[in-house]
A and B are shown apart, each in its own frame.
Chain A
């Protein structure tokens, strides 16, 4: 999506995604507003999805489609803007913990936010 070096590449590619994903996923699971949505998932599978999401947000290689996201979130009752907002906060904080610059964090957040309507099925 960009000819410049993506944040994904600057962070170190798929190896760096692993560390970032665990940080991010831990924050999401520790959030009482979000935790219940992850009660019945296979964590090993779920973290791979988080990695794909993070890869997308950081401008890495992905073939994420709106349809995938719609399907994945369709069964989650009661998710609203508030939940997406919290996920974005945790994403930003995870990147901040890794020492990512604020401008890059904002850029990643904007990419992640671009799928909001798919996630919320609007």
Chain B
């Protein structure tokens, strides 16, 4: 078996673990227990299959993305791996060319931008991808619609426009047909079919609500029938760009069991408390799956309070927005 990692190729002996094989070639991954407990040697299969034992005990979303534990993986086929957390470098590895299809205002300071790639781009609802415009500026945006919707309408994003924003103000002025490059879709804040009756809690701050509404529509399309609550957090009332009432974002086929809730910080509400309040009526917290998206601090506070309220971390998928560095 041949293992490819970080530009090198390494032969594995039959029955040898990925961790041991790499170590034999002088490549040391962080590892403590070598028995699947510490998750120190978490890596990701980019091509090839690591085998089910190496994925036992990992978050479902991580399994779906090819994450596995190098200490437990004894692959029987060639395998290409990457370090956990390594995403394709935005800007260097663009996937496709696309054209801006439409740009329209959605609410105060937020645009709905649709783009059409020249060739179909596979993604899952809830993922994000990098956009690169003329001039080399790259920004990552969450995808606001589902693959089925994107096939019809183009891939959509909810873009907050910042004054002087290198990408957002360019998009605000972009004419239909403007060319843009897109990167590989990434992220694991995605619905995983398999528990159609399980309760869902989705909470996003700012434009973080957009991918989560798509995740919920995707879940419903997959036949999800369990109760769900979708929570939109905003700094002040003007940030509720989808409106204060239940948005059409849940789709026309919204079952009665979907609740919509807003949380406005200037109104004295704390999103970390609101998510816990909304968790209670969903029943046993350990059975709830949560999806969180938005600013880093808000997401991290929500995750902590949901965990303290009894949710299991494995059932919390989160996508934190990172501030652009240039």
Question: A-contacting residues of B (Cβ < 8 Å)?
Answer: 31-40, 42, 57, 59, 300, 303-304, 307-308, 312-314
Tell me if A's interface is mostly helix, strand, loop or mixed: helix
Contact with B along A47-83 (1 / 0, CB 8 A): 1110110111000111110001000000000000000
Residue A104 at the chain B interface, CB threshold 8 Å: no
Shortest Cβ distance from residue A63 to the other chain B in the assembled complex, whole angstroms? 6
Shortest Cβ distance from residue B323 to the other chain A in the assembled complex, whole angstroms? 15
Contact call B32/A15, Cβ cutoff below 8 A: no
Tell me if B's interface is mostly helix, strand, loop or mixed: loop
Shortest Cβ distance from residue B292 to the other chain A in the assembled complex, whole angstroms? 11
Q: How far is the CA of A29 from the CA of B313 in the complex (A)?
A: 13
Shortest Cβ distance from residue B321 to the other chain A in the assembled complex, whole angstroms? 15
Contact call B40/A52, Cβ cutoff below 8 A: yes
Query: Hey, which chain B residues are within 8 Å of A63, CB to CB?
Result: 31-34
14 chain-A/chain-B pairs, Cβ below 8 angstroms: A14-B35, A14-B57, A15-B57, A18-B57, A22-B312, A26-B308, A29-B308, A47-B313, A52-B37, A52-B40, A56-B33, A60-B33, A62-B37, A63-B32
Query: Hey, which chain B residues are within 8 Å of A62, CB to CB?
Result: 32-35, 37-38
Query: Hey, which chain A residues are within 8 Å of B36, CB to CB?
Result: 14
Contact A51 B303, CB 8 Å, known A15-B57, A22-B312, A43-B313? no
Q: How far is the CA of A39 from the CA of B104 in the complex (A)?
A: 39
Q: Which of A24-42 contact B (CB under 8 A)?
A: 25-26, 29-30
Contact call A48/B35, Cβ cutoff below 8 A: no
Interface size class of A (residues with CB under 8 A): 20 to 34
Query: Hey, which chain A residues are within 8 Å of B38, CB to CB?
Result: 48-49, 51-52, 55, 62
Q: How far is the CA of A110 from the CA of B72 in the complex (A)?
A: 29
User: Which of A48, A56, A61 interacts with B40 by CB under 8 Å?
Assistant: A48
Contact A61 B313, CB 8 Å, known A14-B57, A48-B42? no
Query: Hey, which chain A residues are within 8 Å of B314, CB to CB?
Result: 18
